[in-house]
Structure 1
């Protein structure tokens, strides 16, 4: 049978774009991709990239304050949100054009419209045009989840944060995950009075308890009002702003309420429901280790599968799919020991097992876990009179001495964990760390100078 396309990709985010490019340029396939919004997806347009640029912007006031302690006659003026937002939009336009150019140069046909799946070998565009296709790749990503509470329509999500006309003076961030924590720090750094409401006992659930505890304590010390154990019961408009009613009975007024209460796979309304494609309880497209669904011609990669919702993982999954299906190189995406970073202030970098997860997963037969940790005030901020603390922590299997996890809190943690991840992915032992000569004076030298465990669990 002759098909219009060998591959039709629905979704122009990082995973879909990588799969389309490799399948076309290196696999020799005839490929089309449909994207109803802006090319680049969540990461480039509504997530990682603009968020990181906002992180950079928010860090300057503190840097200027520290400069005075180092003898500079420095002062920080007011922040011009309009100017920054214009520059940000220009950068996103540049990146979107680069993504588009990459696809076109690879020979991919682009449809700037919505596409849905008609059957295992047909897709339909919004204008009714249908194509026969040999393979379909679902790469539609995820979307913010907002709980059903009275007045929820008054709130924004991370999607809208980059398009605000003006910065608020008072903001409520609802949630305690990495997106909530990052935006709380961003807004605070830009001069906004920030409150966080989180129904859990401590923010950044899932990360190492000791590490996230330091992040939360530091955020609070810098002036962010973190209210744990409380959720929003409802929102209503008031003359002075938006009033949030807490589950503890409190009433607080804000200029902006942002929900960062998780994300859901973007799988609805694209025709998968009646084709036999498995859909999980959260809406995730169920796939096997080859990213293939229960329908052999339909695959899915990225956040829509709800495996590990990180851009580099989606890229690996998309590349592995193209290698397997179009290049004759069977490849499975490796989801083991994936490093991650939370761009709060201070940053948190993590790879492998937390202390708590190691305790849960190791049986008595596997033996104890050794914890090596150093928490101290770093030289740079100590000189400036700050009370900041950093953490260097290794989780080690006592029997094999293999490093099972590494957790870093402090400036540059995201950069440091990337390098530590190489060693840990290679199976480094504590002895490998110990025989590495320290680079002095640095905060990261503590990773190779901790000789005795602080505890055995």
Structure 2
């Protein structure tokens, strides 16, 4: 059988580009990649990168207030969204160009158009061109989900927020996951009046319970109108363009805009995967094994389109493992069991390993936890508190999980993840001399457990 390419990748995000580059430049495969929108995918164009820059932008009012307490004549005037947005999109353009340039430098042929699967070895481009490939990799990522009736009214997802010409004066965020919580903090920091409805009992489902409660309390203390056990039941577009929202408690409030952060779905619609016999789960994600291989031997998938661990570094690692395994005869796969993550609320939350609740399902635990006002903000008269928590196996002392809510928790948890991944024990932490004065020193100063059972 004759093939045009050894590998055809559909999707130009982090996972797809990494797989294409490694397969081509390191293993000599003939590779093509099709991207219908912009190179860089969700992370670079409408996710991690612009979001983190918005986190930085939203942090300055609080920094100015602290600066005043420290003796500086500092003032933070009105936020200029237009100026920030212009610089933001220039940066995204720069990064997109780098993604394309690096792929081409690695020998990858790029097609700036949509591609779909015709059969296990054939893809069809939007212009009608059909190409044969020995292997096909699906790396099309995911997209925000919003009920169609609310989309038709003009409600936003995070995608629209990145593109808006101006910020609303008030906004309702619907959802309680990390995207909803992050944007609640971002927009509040930029001067927007923020309300957040979540139908569950507490935000950040799936995270450690103490972490969830601490973040929720900090958000509420900042002035974010967080309401749990509350859902949106009706949304009306008013003649002036604003929205009237009615919740499950019967309250009716008006907002300039409504943003839904109620989950994401895999980008598989219209890709032709069903025609090729590829199995999808109930959410439309590609079902793959530990090697990222679908039930069709020639078709693989990596990243959010598989709905395993939906994080950019995971997608990159999956793409690299796929290329090494299939084209480099270096078989390895990603261990999804221990992946650190951060939620860029204010303060940030960082977590790695098991929550206390999940650890208890495995056996008896010893829990070490502390919460305190950090030196920097306490001096400025602020009441915010940080939280440090270690979940350990009661008998062996192995640290099963580490959970931090603090400024720069994302930076701290990266270092802690190394120790947890190496199966460090509480005794290993105790033997480590503290770096003083720091927030992180509390990780090695917690001597007595708050709970053992």
With the length of structure 1 as denominator, give the TM-score of the two structures. 0.98
Residues of 2 paired with 1:67 and 1:374: CA distance?
A: 27
Q: Secondary structure at the match of 1:154?
A: coil
Paired residues for 1:32-431 under 5 Å: 32-149=32-149, 153-240=153-240, 241-359=242-360, 361-362=361-362, 366=363, 368-431=364-427
Task: Using the TM superposition, name which of 329-338 and 104-113 deviates more.
Answer: 329-338
Q: How much has 1:153 moved relative to structure 2?
A: 3.2
Q: Residue 292 of structure 1: SS of its match in structure 2?
A: coil
Native 8 Å contact 1:150 1:233 kept in 2: no
Q: Deviations over 1:228-261 (max 9, x none)?
A: 1111112111134111121222111111110000
Alignment-derived partner of residue 10 in structure 2: 10
Q: Is the 8 A contact 1:149 1:233 kept in 2?
A: no
Contact 1:151 1:235 in 2 (8 A): no
Q: How many residues align?
A: 452
Q: Is the 8 A contact 1:150 1:235 kept in 2?
A: yes
- Say which SS state the counterpart of residue 44 (structure 2) adopts: helix
Q: Measured at CA, do residues 148 and 199 of structure 1 come closer, stay the same or move farther in structure 2, by a change above 3 Å?
A: farther
Residue 451 (1) aligns with residue 447 (2): yes
Structure 2: how far apart are the matches of 1:147 and 1:228?
Answer: 20
CA contact (8 A) 2:340 2:351 kept: yes
3-state SS, counterpart of residue 267 of structure 1: coil
Superposition RMSD in Å:
1.0
Contact 1:146 1:152 in 2 (8 A): no
- Kindly tell me: are residues 160 and 436 of structure 1, through their superposed partners in 2, closer, same or farther at Cα, counting changes over 3 Å? same
Measure, in 2, the Cα distance between the counterparts of 1:234 and 1:24: 52
Gaps of at least 5 residues in structure 1 are none
- Whether 1:28 aligns to 2:24 is no
5+ residue gaps, structure 2, are none
User: Is contact 2:197–2:231 with CA below 8 Å preserved after alignment?
Assistant: yes
Name the CA distance, whole Å, in 2 between partners of 1:307 and 1:150.
28
Q: Tell me how far 1:152 sits from its aligned partner.
A: 5.2
Q: Is the 8 A contact 1:196 1:224 kept in 2?
A: yes
**Deviation of the 1:399 alpha carbon:** 1.3
Q: Deviations over 1:114-156 (max 9, x none)?
A: 0000101110000100001100000000010113556753201
Distance in 1, Cα, partners of 2:210 & 2:149: 33
* Cα shift at 1:349: 0.1
Instruction: Pick which of 112-121 and 141-150 moved more.
Output: 141-150
What SS class does the counterpart of residue 183 from structure 1 fall into? helix
Shift in CA distance, 136/188, structure 1 to aligned 2, threshold 3 Å:
same
Structure 1 contact 13–139 (Cα < 8 Å) conserved:
yes
Work out whether residues 235 and 242 of structure 1, in 8 Å CA contact, stay in contact via their aligned partners in 2.
yes
Q: In terms of mean alpha carbon deviation, does 239-248 or 119-128 score higher?
A: 239-248
2:199, 2:231 within 8 Å by CA — same for their partners in 1? Answer: yes
TM-score between the two structures when normalised by the length of structure 2: 0.98
My pick for the range that moved more, 237-246 or 342-351, is: 237-246
